[in-house]
C-alpha cells in the first residue's frame, strides 16, 4: 500500500518553524527601521562600528576558547579512564556532569566569590586576571554537560580498549596514548562540544555580570536598556553566529575521524 502524505507531521513542523521564524522576522524587520520612513542597515552599521562591541566580543571569544581547551583537557581523559578502568563509576560521573543543569549559575558565581574572595587563601577576585580565570572556570562548569555528552558519544563509537592495547604494544605511555591516539579519534566529538561551548559562553550573562567582566552577554543587556533598534540588530547577528556554529558543528561531526585523502597510485610505463 502506498503511504499517504503525513499531513499531521507536516503541520506540526510548520507550526514549530513559524514559532521560531516569525518572531525572528519581526525583529529583523524592526532592526531595518532605524531611519524613519525607509528600510536601512543603519542599526547594523552602528553596532558593528562600535568599539565596545568589538572589545566585548573579543573578550568573550577568548574566554570561550580558553574554556573549550580546559574542558577538553578535563573531559577527554576522564571519560577515557572511566570507560577503560572504572565502568562502574560511569553513572556517578554522568550524574556529576549534569549538576550544572540543576544548580543555577548565580549559586555557582557566589560560591566562587565566597571561596576566592578577599578573605580566601587564594584571592583571585582581587585582580583582573584572577577574575578572568574564575570566569573561564565557570564557563567550563556550565558547558560540562554538553562537552561530556559529545565526548562520551564519540568515545562509545570507537574501541578504546583495542586502541590502548595496540598503542601500549608499540611502547606508548598512557599519556602518549591519550594525546596521540584517543584525542585524534574523538576529534569530531570534541569539535561538536567546542561549538556548543562557544555558543553557550558567548551570550552568558550571570557569571560575567556578577564578576564584573567586560563580556558580550552584559553588553547585549546594557544595549537593550539604552537603545531601541540596535538590540534587534544585535539579536539577529547573534542568531546568525549561532546558526553558523551549528552548521559547522554538523559539518565536522559528520566527518569520520582519521580519514585522509589518499594520493593516486602512479603506474610505471617502462617495460
Residues 54-96: tens digit of each pLDDT: 899 899 989 999 999 999 999 999 999 999 888 898 899 999 9
pLDDT at 267 over 50: no
Residue with cell 598512557: 174
- Stretch (H or E) spanning 162: helix 160-169
CB distance 72 to 191 below 8 Å:
no
Question: Predicted confidence band at 258 (pLDDT cuts at 50, 70, 90)?
Answer: very low
Smallest CA-to-CA distance from 60 within 146, 136, 144, 145 is with: 136
What the block records as the C-alpha cell of 107 is 549559586
pLDDT at 271 over 70: no
Average the pLDDT over 100-124 and give the result. 85
Q: For the whole model, what pTM was predicted?
A: 0.80
Structural domains in the chain?
51-215 (1.10.3720.10)
Percent of the chain's residues with pLDDT above 90: 23
What is the structure's pLDDT at 4? Answer: 54
pLDDT at 48 over 60: yes
Q: In angstroms, how far apart are the furthest CA atoms of the chain?
A: 84
Higher pLDDT, 19 or 241: 19
Lowest-confidence pick of 160-174, 209-223, 254-268: 254-268
pLDDT at 268 over 80: no
Smallest CA-to-CA distance from 200 within 136, 250, 253, 254 is with: 136
pLDDT at 261 over 50: no
Distances (CA, A) of 217 to 14, 221, 230: 31, 7, 15
Q: What are phi and psi of 70, to 5 degrees?
A: -65, -40
pLDDT at 265 over 50: no
Per-residue model confidence as pLDDT tens digits over 124-155: 888 888 899 999 999 999 999 999 999 999 89
What the block records as the C-alpha cell of 229 is 533598534
- Stretch (H or E) spanning 140: helix 128-156
Question: Predicted confidence band at 252 (pLDDT cuts at 50, 70, 90)?
Answer: low
DSSP 14-66: HHHHHHHHHHHHHHHHHHT-SSTTS--SHHHHHHHT-HHHHHHHHHHHHHHHH
Amino acid at each position: 500500500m502506498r503511504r499517504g502524505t503525513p499531513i499531521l507531521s507536516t503541520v506540526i513542523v510548520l507550526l514549530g518553524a513559524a514559532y521560531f521564524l516569525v518572531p525572528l522576522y519581526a525583529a529583523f524587520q524592526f532592526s531595518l527601521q532605524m531611519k524613519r520612513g525607509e528600510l536601512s542597515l543603519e542599526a547594523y552599521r552602528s553596532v558593528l562600528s562600535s568599539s565596545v562591541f568589538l572589545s566585548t566580543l573579543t573578550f568573550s571569544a577568548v574566554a570561550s576558547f580558553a574554556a573549550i581547551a580546559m574542558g577538553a583537557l578535563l573531559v577527554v581523559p576522564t571519560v577515557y579512564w572511566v570507560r577503560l578502568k572504572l565502568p562502574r563509576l560511569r553513572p556517578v560521573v554522568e550524574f556529576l556532569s549534569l549538576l550544572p543543569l540543576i544548580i543555577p549559575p548565580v549559586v555557582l558565581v557566589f560560591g566562587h566569590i565566597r571561596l576566592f574572595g578577599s578573605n580566601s587563601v587564594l584571592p583571585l577576585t582581587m585582580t583582573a586576571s584572577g577574575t578572568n580565570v574564575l570566569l573561564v572556570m565557570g564557563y567550563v562548569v556550565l558547558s560540562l554537560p554538553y562537552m561530556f555528552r559529545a565526548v562520551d558519544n564519540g568515545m562509545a563509537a570507537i574501541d578504546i580498549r583495542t586502541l590502548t592495547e595496540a598503542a601500549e604494544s608499540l611502547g606508548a605511555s598512557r599519556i602518549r596514548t591519550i594525546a596521540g591516539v584517543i584525542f585524534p579519534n574523538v576529534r569530531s566529538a570534541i569539535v561538536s562540544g567546542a561549538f556548543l561551548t562557544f555558543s553557550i559562553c558567548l551570550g552568558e550573562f550571570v557569571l560575567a555580570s556578577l564578576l564584573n567582566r567586560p563580556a558580550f552577554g552584559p553588553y547585549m543587556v546594557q544595549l537593550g536598556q539604552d537603545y531601541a533598534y540596535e538590540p534587534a540588530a544585535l539579536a539577529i547577528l547573534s542568531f546568525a553566529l549561532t546558526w553558523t556554529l551549528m552548521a559547522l558543528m554538523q559539518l565536522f561531526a559528520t566527518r569520520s575521524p582519521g580519514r585522509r585523502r589518499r594520493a593516486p597510485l602512479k603506474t610505471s610505463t617502462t617495460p
